[in-house]
Structure 1
Amino acid sequence: MSSTEMTLHWAVEKWLTPTHATRAHVVRVRRNGMHRRCVCVEAMLSGGLLSIFFFRHDDGSWNVYPPAQARPAMLAWRSV
Structure 2
Amino acid sequence: MDTARSSLHYQVEKWLRPEPSDCVRVARFGHMADGTRYVQIAATRINGHRELYFFRHDDGDWCVFPQRSRQPSMSAYRLTQAC
Settle same-fold status: TM greater than 0.5. Answer: yes
Q: Percent identity?
A: 34
More helix by share: 2
| Structure with larger RCO (C-alpha < 8 A, sep 6+) | 1
- Structure 1: unaligned runs, 5 residues or longer: none
CA distance in 2, matches of 1:3, 1:31: 24
How is 1:12-31 mapped onto 2 (pairs within 5 angstroms)? 12-31=12-31
- SS of the aligned residue for 1:71 comes to coil
- Structure 2: unaligned runs, 5 residues or longer: none
Q: 1:21-51 CA deviation, whole Å, 9 max, x = no partner?
A: 1021000002135431111000013331100
CA distance in 1, matches of 2:62, 2:35: 14
Query: Is the 2:23–2:45 contact (alpha carbons within 8 Å) kept by the matching residues of 1?
Result: no
CA distance in 2, matches of 1:79, 1:70: 22
- SS of the aligned residue for 1:55 comes to strand
How many aligned positions are there?
79
Please tell me the root mean square deviation across aligned C-alpha atoms, in Å.
2.1
Give the letter for the 1:15 counterpart: W
In the other structure, the counterpart of 1:58 is 58
- SS of the aligned residue for 1:76 comes to helix
TM-score by length of 2: 0.79
Query: Is the 1:27–1:41 contact (alpha carbons within 8 Å) kept by the matching residues of 2?
Result: yes
CA distance in 2, matches of 1:55, 1:64: 6
